[in-house]
Amino acid sequence: MIRVLVVDDQPLIRAGLVGLLTAAPGLTVAGEAGDGDQAVALAAATTPDVVVMDIRMPGTDGITATRRILAGTPDPPRILMLTTFDLDQYVYEALRAGACGFVLKELDPDRLLTAIRTVADGDMLFAPTVTRRLIETFLQDNTRTSRLDPGPELGSLTTREREVLHLVGTGITNHEIGSQLTISEGTVKTHLSRVMTKLNLTSRAQAVVVAYETGLVTPRK
């Protein structure tokens, strides 16, 4: 049973999500919160598997709440962000904060349930190419520039770990990475796990962001 904490400042949307989850097989509502502070407290008290988190809320927003939730437990929940626009200016920061992905509030119910199950299984929400396009667009629109050489924070990585991080940043799957490097998918996962540990990352999304920010991958023009 996947336990889900619902966070949204709009009562009607929150009630709709709770009703949807209550009726869905294999899912149960761990709690509901109307703001970021409440979300942090309930996440600690109820230890959900997934938090469906609105990005934009008065007071403590979803990004701040996400950082606090992920920093507050050794076994944090997966965070799925809710947004109104598919290129919300906060999406990039949400990924950096450790969110596993984001869904539009207009998403149909079945796809939302699939998204929740996807992140609960440990995957990112979007197909890798979609995540890559999102980050590239954000970087270009905000005139962020990537360094030509990896920064010193990558100095702890082995050559193979850096190769894996680079390929993760290009948006391909673990299976495809393994094929390119002629190693097993399990070995890819091991290398990626070591990368995330060394760089203190909590999600694959953060690894994609780091690959861009350090210049391992550069945005397409």
pLDDT digits (tens, 9 = 90+) for 117-151: 988 887 776 545 455 556 666 556 554 444 434 45
Taken in order of first residue, the domains within the chain and their CATH numbers are: 2-125 (3.40.50.2300), 138-213 (1.10.10.10)
Name which of 80, 139, 143 is nearest 115 in CA terms: 80
Six token digits for residue 4: 């889900």
What predicted TM-score, i.e. pTM, was given to this entire model? 0.69
pLDDT at residue 126 in the model: 59
Confidence of residue 26 (pLDDT cuts 50, 70, 90): very high
Cα–Cα–Cα angle for 52, 55, 60, rounded to 5 degrees: 105
pLDDT at residue 219 in the model: 64
Q: pLDDT per residue over 69-109, tens digit each? A: 998 777 889 999 888 765 556 767 777 788 887 788 888 89
Residue 175 has pLDDT above 60, yes or no: yes
pLDDT at residue 139 in the model: 59
Handedness of CA 126, 132, 133, 137 (dihedral sign): positive
State the chain's mean pLDDT as an integer.
83
CA distances from 9 to 62, 166, 189 (A): 10, 38, 37
Residue 44 has pLDDT above 80, yes or no: yes
Task: Find which of 13-27, 100-114, 142-156 is predicted with most confidence, using mean pLDDT.
Answer: 13-27
